[in-house]
């Protein structure tokens, strides 16, 4: 399967243990043997290789590696997980998802589920627990004002769990909670690395 539109947080199937580097821990091969997908960590810098992460059963089990684009057999993006039939499961994070969905749908922007909730919705594997946060992404191709960000952050407050929403700008990702705050500069996670910026949508600032 080829695609020119791979984006961070996409889940990809097709990596197998034989393609892992020699230093990969044993749990990485075990996870792949179970048919688990890997997650795209950032936009691909190479036409042939994708920077991906493998997750294990424990929170600290995360392994970064590369996957050949030609090996991808299936791709699921975070936006597709909003309609997963597994969203009815009775975890606090999924109750929160059901509560905030109408708000995000009404924004008119593309959004999706990432993190542990996204992984469970995509695979059915039990990755959520009672203390899990709800990780979301919101595609923001145009500037979202700090006033709008603060209002959205307040609206995402719910009685079930913490919502960690990442704004995906054309230049990288920034936490909604940071952009809604008072700090003059916020952490932008770009393909070239993380940096503090005043405007996560500014090409001029990115080039500086």
Active site residue 133: yes
Q: Which two tokens stand for residue 80?
A: 């597709």
Spatial separation of the C-alpha atoms in residues 119 and 9, rounded to whole Å: 10
- Helices 92-106, 115-123: axis angle to 10 degrees equals 100
If DSSP codes are grouped into helix, strand and coil, which group holds residue 99?
Answer: helix
Spatial separation of the C-alpha atoms in residues 149 and 174, rounded to whole Å: 11
Closest alpha carbon to 115 in 62, 155, 65, 174: 62
Spatial separation of the C-alpha atoms in residues 100 and 138, rounded to whole Å: 13
Which entry of 10, 135, 157, 191 is annotated as an active-site residue? 135
Which entry of 33, 90, 105, 133 is annotated as an active-site residue? 133
Q: E strands of 80-192, at which residues?
A: 111-113, 134-139, 163-169, 172-175, 186-190
Q: Which two tokens stand for residue 69?
A: 């684009």
Q: What burial class does residue 104 get, using C-beta atoms within 10 Å of its C-beta: 0-12 exposed, 13-18 middle, 19+ buried?
A: buried
Q: Which two tokens stand for residue 161?
A: 């769990």
**β pairing state of 134-139 and 163-169:** parallel
Tell me which residues are annotated as active site: 133, 135
């Amino acid at each position: 399967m080829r695609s020119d539109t791979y984006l961070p947080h996409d889940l990809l199937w097709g990596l197998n243990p034989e393609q892992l580097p020699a230093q990969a821990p044993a749990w990485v091969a075990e996870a792949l043997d179970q048919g688990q997908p890997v997650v795209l960590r950032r936009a691909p810098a190479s036409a042939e290789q994708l920077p991906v992460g493998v997750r294990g059963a424990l929170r600290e089990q995360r392994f970064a590696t590369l996957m050949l684009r030609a090996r991808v057999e299936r791709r699921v993006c975070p936006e597709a997980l909003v309609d997963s039939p597994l969203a009815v499961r009775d975890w606090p994070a999924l109750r929160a998802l059901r509560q905030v969905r109408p708000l995000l749908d009404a924004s008119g922007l593309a959004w999706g589920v990432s993190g542990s909730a996204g992984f469970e919705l995509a695979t059915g594997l039990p990755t959520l627990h009672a203390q899990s946060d709800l990780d979301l992404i919101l595609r923001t191709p145009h500037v979202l004002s700090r006033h709008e960000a603060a209002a959205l952050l307040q609206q995402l407050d719910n009685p079930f769990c913490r919502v960690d929403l990442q704004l995906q700008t054309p230049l990288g990702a920034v936490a909604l909670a940071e952009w809604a705050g008072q700090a003059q500069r916020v952490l932008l996670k770009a393909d070239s690395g993380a940096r503090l910026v005043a405007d996560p949508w500014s090409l001029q600032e990115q080039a500086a």
